[in-house]
Structure 1
């Protein structure tokens, strides 16, 4: 990987959840001649991090995590990968630092996911860490406008994509989710706490007369950042599992807001989409508002 962002830190700590995004970021740092420290979150981090220095931590061990990051010489951190919202009723602090953070998390969590993420971010910044976004580390993950592969959307698909993105923006304004599925102008699903893959599975279970099928693909999944989005954490992500879910749901394609999402393993995404006969595209805000 050659498109790692400009170096503004001595050593980066990658706080790793599920999926391939954390290992891609760690690999970008390593390829740029840097030495990342990967803090693997137990129960979530599932990629192969054996090529990188690091350690594993429970969600309730924030103090131990911070000490390990500082001992490793990390002056910046990047949150990456899927982490489910914790059940605060069962989350047991493993140290004094976590015990201090937990009430703040509970209070912020009542206001929504974005408020919770901002509280976590602020806590680490107060502890002396710079928090950077995945696009600061690997700028190539952010898509420019256009169609990625060989499959071109029809005008009806573009109309569905625009409505799905507007719907995603609307629910994002309420801090609900980042994704929506529209078919023939009908909103089939919006994303909440279940996540994109589960939402697509739900669409696949709908009656075939209101959604597409393998032989007659219709409808679009769209993902967009929340208007209140803290861009250094939790930008919308699509990857190969997204394409697989869209394929199973009979959709015609996947759309994201240009400059407002992360595309993980773009080559694999394009190859899978082309093979399935799906388009993948990024739409500009100007086109969205037209």
Structure 2
């Protein structure tokens, strides 16, 4: 296995965690920061750090090849706003976007991976370096959901998978059989926060909103840069949830008591 590995990093807590895990395995990290936050968090950790916009595909791949990178991991949130500003996309980024045919997360990620691998750079799953952040199925906190909460979780699971299959998003917020929020371009954190806010405005309090997260069929879950271990976890804490059931590729998050 090559000693040098690339890290393409967006926003969130996970990029520095992943960098430490890579370094801990004796890998030399070449990092590409796609935002100021990622640069600031990675700067104390890695010696070979570059900053590019997400639409600068030529410079990103040219830099990785020049540094001898043959493997990389993509992690962290990348805003889709750049896709609506075509003047910020170079020829390679535009080619990837044309092949994807839409702004759907799964289509974009698939074509980004294809582009890297066409240049001899294999995209590695995040779980290879962070297995401890991939929860198994079961209740992860201090109490089990109530019967009503299980019903919400089951409904949320079904709805989230349906939404994921349409390429809309992978997270919904449900309370008492009602969908409070569906993830759009804003991402997981803001979806959960919006759902909690709507529950509070409706007089239900900030607690008690199970959250269902499902993967679309064919979604490259293990190589998805914006994973539930980062944005989702932060949003759950903000919403004061303390019970979680993770089965396969979905989560049901329930309220704590006391």
TM-score (norm 2): 0.84
1:108-147 correspondence runs (5 A): 108-110=100-102, 112-147=104-139
Partner of 1:222: 212
1:150, CA displacement in angstroms?
A: 1.6
Change (3 A) 1:255 1:146: closer
SS in structure 2 of the partner of residue 242 of structure 1: helix
Tell me how far 1:107 sits from its aligned partner: 4.8
Unmatched 5+ stretches in structure 2: none
Which residue in 2 is equivalent to 1:243? 236
Structure 1 stretch displaced more, 68-77 or 202-211: 202-211
Give yes or no for contact 1:229–1:235 (8 Å, CA) kept in 2.
no
Structure with more of its chain in helix, by fraction? 2
* Residue aligning to 1:72: 67
Q: CA RMSD in A?
A: 2.8
Distance 2:101 2:119 in 1: 21
SS at match of 1:187: strand
1:15 aligns with 2:8: yes
1:83-140 CA-partner distances (Å, limit 9, x unpaired): 011433524368xxx3134133145252622111111111111011011111122222
Distance change in 2, residues 1:218/1:253 (3 Å):
same
TM-score by length of 1: 0.76
CA distance in structure 1 between the aligned counterparts of 2:8 and 2:250, rounded to whole angstroms: 19
State the 1:234 CA deviation: 3.9
Counterpart selection for 2:173 from 176, 181, 201: 181
Q: Does 1:206 align with 2:201?
A: no
Q: In structure 2, what is the Cα distance between the partners aligned to 1:62 and 1:28?
A: 26
Shift of 1:185: 1.9
- 2:224 maps to 233
Partner in structure 2 of residue 281 of structure 1? none
- Cα separation, 2, equivalents of 1:257 and 1:106: 35
Q: Which residue of structure 1 lines up, in the alignment, with residue 30 of structure 2? A: 37
Asked whether 1:28 is paired with 2:21, we answer yes
Could you list the runs of 5+ residues in structure 1 that have no partner in the other structure? 1-7, 263-272, 279-290
